[in-house]
Amino acid sequence: MLKKDRYKAFVEYFSTHNPDAQTELHYGNPYELLVAVILSAQCTDKRINQVTPALFKRFPDPESLAASNQDEVFTYIRSVSYPNNKAKHLVGMAQKLLGDFNGIVPEKVEDLVKLPGVGRKTANVISSVVYNNPSMAVDTHVFRVSNRLGLTSNATTPLAVEKQLVKYLPQETIAIAHHWLILHGRYICLARTPKCDQCPITYFCKYFEKTKKAKPIAKVASA
C-alpha cells in the first residue's frame, strides 16, 4: 500500500469512528491545561487527573502559582514523576507567564517553548488543543503508532515524525490526528504487546503486514 493510501485510510477510519477525539487530561481553561500537560511528561493522564483537582483549587490562576514556591507546589504533586523538577518548572512558568505574556497562555509554539517546563511536545499540545492550530505533538504513542502504521518512514526522532505527519495529513485533521494516534497507542497498539487481534485498522497497518499476516509454515513431522 502506498503512503498516500495509508493516510487516506487512516483519516477516513478515525474521522468516522472517533470524530470527537480529545485529550483525556481534565482541565477548565488554557492555564489548567498547560499545568496538566507539564505534569504529564513521563506520567499517566490518570495520575495527573488525580493530582490536579487539589492543585487547581490551591492555585486557580497564574498569579497564585507565581506567588508560591517549589516546596509548597511539591506537596501537591509528590506522586507524579519528577515532582521536584516539575514543581520548580510550574512556579517559573507562572512567573514568566505573568511577566512576559500578561498571564495569558500564548498561542504560538515559539512563544510557548520560552516557558519553563515547556518543550516542543507540550507547546504543540497547547497550540492544537487550545487554539486548534495544525500542530502535531509527538509523544511516545504518536512516535510508535505512526511508524507502525507506515505513516512515517525512516523517522528516528520526534521532530522527524512531526514533520512527516504535518506534511502528509490534511491540515484540518492535524490537531485531532494527534489524539487519534495517542488513544490508539494507549489502548490498542501497545508498546510491548500490541492488540493486533482486536485492532480494527490492520488492513492498512504496515507492522501487521510484516509481522502478523504471513503465517509461518508448520513443520511436517517425520514418519
CA–chain centroid gap for 113, Å, is 16
43 labeled binding residue = no
Which residues, at least 6 apart from 88, have a Cβ–Cβ distance to it below 8 Å? 70, 116
Q: Which three cell numbers, joined as nine digits, stand for 130?
A: 487550545
| Contact predicate 5/25, CB 8 Å | no
| Contact predicate 175/117, CB 8 Å | no
**Integer Cα distance of 135 and 131 in angstroms:** 10
**Integer Cα distance of 138 and 169 in angstroms:** 14
Which amino acids are annotated catalytic?
121, 139
> In terms of C-beta density within 10 A (0-12 exposed, 13-18 middle, 19 or more buried), how is residue 5 classed?
exposed
Alpha helices in 41-173 (DSSP H): 45-58, 62-66, 70-77, 83-101, 109-112, 120-131, 140-149, 158-168
Residues forming the annotated binding site for [4Fe-4S] cluster? 189, 196, 199, 205
